[in-house]
Amino acid sequence: MAGASPHSRGVALIGSGSAQAAQVITNHQLGQRVETSDEWIRSRTGISTRRVSSPDQRLSDLAADAGRSALEMAGWSANSLDLVLLATSTPDDLFGSAPAVQAALGASNAVAFDLTSACSGFLFSLVTAAQYLRTGAMRRALVIGADQLSRFVDWDDRRSCVLFGDGAGAVALEASDDDGLLGFLVRSDGARGGVLNLPAIDSDAPLADDARHRRGGYRPIEMNGQEVYKFAVREVPAVLECLLERCAVSPETIDWLLLHQANQRILDAVADRFAIPRAKVLSNLAHYGNTSAATIPLVLDEAVRDGKIQPGHLLASSGFGAGLSWGAALLRWQGPA
């Protein structure tokens, strides 16, 4: 394995990849199901289409495809990986889908596990993987954000179904003397968690004569959109501001704002708060909607492959969502050697 000296304390972002769900669903199609319109959805969210997995497309397939494309960009063999970390709230298997991804990739030397933190999952996973690399315990990690919220969306609830889509994105991370994670802040507030949930079903069943058990299963997504919106426009600028101050970085030096893709109005509000020109705000909401843990690596990969993000560029990233959970990271893209 190439890259770092035994005492390196940094992490470098070397490669990115992504994978799309098979079906494109338009606003017009949603209008056939619920009372909504293309005009309402586009003006309130910025979303025109979203991707929805076909019934035979598993979460682990999407995640493995994204991971494979990040490995290809990095020029790494799968068996050089020490860690496969899968951020998801929608595993194929509640015991974890990362091992299935590890097997599909042939990453036989890597430990693989899931991390669940809704739409903050990728950011939290990136930071988590970086800790293993910084301590010298590991050298190479593949961090994947993948979600299939289409399995849990209430397709008859117009207040939430228009927002979400499926997808996967990945980043190849390596221990390095040249640090690409300049700083981070991560936050949780479970006391406010009731505004966005994918809750377990509340029902029980007989187990024996004098015992009952709680049944497994989940209800569809429940969301108070206005409260989530207020949370996002309050906390995302605050956590970014705190991080920029801590790292002594001024907003003008940021090349790209790499935010969780939830609503174009949220992206614009954050950019305006820091007087960052709209042209520096990465956005692919129009085509994908909110793919939860996948949004940040998906839009990152698109921008890298479009040639927007160049080696050395400074990225201010923030993820936020259910939990409530949120955080920010200041990243420098290195790219493949």
**Which residues of the shown chain bind ligand UT7 in the complex (CB under 6 A)?**
36, 40-41, 44-45, 119, 158-159, 162-163, 223, 225-226, 228-229, 262-263, 290, 321
DSSP lists the bridge partners of residue 19 as: 168
C-alpha angle 73-76-80 in degrees, rounded to nearest 5: 150
Active site residue 290: yes
**Are residues 82 and 108 in contact, defined by beta-carbon separation less than 8 angstroms?**
no
What's the min distance (Å) between Cβ of 271 and ligand UT7?
Answer: 16
Residue 107 CB-density burial (10 A; 0-12 exposed, 13-18 middle, 19+ buried): buried
Find the farthest-apart pair of alpha carbons in the chain and give their distance in angstroms, rounded. Answer: 68
Structure tokens at 336: 């493949």
What's the min distance (Å) between Cβ of 289 and ligand UT7?
Answer: 10
Q: Which is nearer to ligand UT7, 159 or 215 (CB)?
A: 159
Which one is catalytic: 27, 260, 284, 287? 260
Which one is catalytic: 27, 287, 290, 313? 290
What's the min distance (Å) between Cβ of 146 and ligand UT7?
Answer: 15
What's the min distance (Å) between Cβ of 236 and ligand UT7?
Answer: 11
**Are residues 59 and 21 in contact, defined by beta-carbon separation less than 8 angstroms?**
no
Structure tokens at 313: 């560029």
What's the min distance (Å) between Cβ of 64 and ligand UT7?
Answer: 24
What's the min distance (Å) between Cβ of 44 and ligand UT7?
Answer: 5
C-alpha angle 15-19-25 in degrees, rounded to nearest 5: 145
Q: How large is the angle between the packed helices 121-134 and 295-305, nearest 10 degrees?
A: 80
Q: Which is nearer to ligand UT7, 173 or 223 (CB)?
A: 223
Active site residue 119: yes
Quick one: which H or E segment has residue 169? strand 166-176
The tally of CA atoms less than 13 A away on the side-chain side of residue 292 is 32
Active site residue 242: no
Q: How far apart are CA 337 and CA 335, in angstroms?
A: 7
Q: How far apart are CA 115 and CA 121, in angstroms?
A: 7
Q: Which is nearer to ligand UT7, 8 or 89 (CB)?
A: 89
Q: Which is nearer to ligand UT7, 30 or 138 (CB)?
A: 30
Active site residues: 119, 260, 290
